Amino acid sequence: MKIVVTGANGQLGGELCRMLGDGAAPLDIDTLDLTDGPAVLETIEHLRPDAAINCAAYTQVDLAESEPEKAHAINATAVEHLAAACRGLDCTLMQVSTDYVFGGDAMRRTPYKETDAPSPQSVYAKTKLAGEQAAATVAKHFIVRTCGLYARPDDPRAKNFVRTMLQLAAKGKPLRVVDDQCFCPSYVPHVARAMFFLLQQSRAGQCGAGQGGPPWGIYHVVGGGSTTCYNFAVEIFRQAGIDISVEPITTAEFGAAAVRPAYSVLDTTAYHSLGGPRMPDWKTALAEYMKSL
């Protein structure tokens, strides 16, 4: 399969390119501006891929509150352009989305399924949902919702919670970490291999209801179990053998500009029912990261 990977310089896009090897056609802002519709169409028609995976995104959640147009252009309009190109070639489009499309139910304490109605609370979340809707206009589409991504420790470009915690700990100062947001930390290599599994099922027209492959649509792909940012930080330091003071605080005390879901745990039953590689428990996945580190 020849697979276009946009956002190839990011932590998930980079991992997918590493996994796909010569089968990947990596693209990033330096080679293609996804907000330029004619350029997207020309590039995709020239490459003629079997599938396109869109890992490109505007991910600055707080800044999006003051840059809604920019966030919408990258997270929604760009997907519309990719979708149009994929429809023209009848190729698969895989759109990466987020747990943040949920969060409207402050009392929720059961994992969200793909069939649950989204309730985005921030500009970022709303633009990502718009991107999902654009991707769904392609007959052959996968929407992969994931959460709390952290890449291999040998990826020098990766910015994520685990790396940030380790860098802050190196300064030796006490830390204050939010303890009232529950989510699913997800190790990028595990997410990437699950995405590749889904794409493999779509080869040779074998995807779709009654055709021997999984139905097109939305899949939740995250690490097993759930935790808070505070407890995740505590476990990071425990596994790393770092003795540091960590104080739990509330979201209100942290004072971020954008609203975060208090609970955005995703149910992975639909993905696992297909027989793909298991998504390990988040502590097990973190141990794999630490072993590599």
**Residues annotated catalytic, as ranges:** 124
158-176 in b/e form (b: 16+ CB < 10 A) is bebbbbebbeebeeeeebe
Taking the CA atoms of 11, 197, 99 and 82 in sequence, report the sign of the dihedral they define: positive
How many CA atoms within 13 Å lie on the side-chain side of 227? 18
Please give the angle made by the CA atoms of 11, 121 and 99, to the nearest 5 degrees: 35
d(CA 271, CA 221): 7
Bridge-based pairing state of the strands 227-228 and 182-183 = antiparallel
| Helix (H) or strand (E) segment spanning residue 227 | strand 227-228
- What Rg do the C-alpha atoms of the chain give, in angstroms? 19
Contacts of 173 by beta carbon, 8 Å cutoff, 6+ apart = none
Q: Collect all residues with Cβ–Cβ distance below 8 Å to 17 and sequence separation of at least 6.
A: 5, 8, 24, 26
Residue of 17, 16, 97 lying closest to 58 (CA atoms): 97
Cβ distance 118 to 101 under 8 Å? yes
**How many CA atoms does the CB half-sphere of 109 hold within 13 Å?**
2
Question: Of 293, 113, 122, 99, nearest to 217 (Cα)?
Answer: 113
In 3D, which of 61, 121, 108, 101 has the Cα closest to residue 263?
Answer: 108
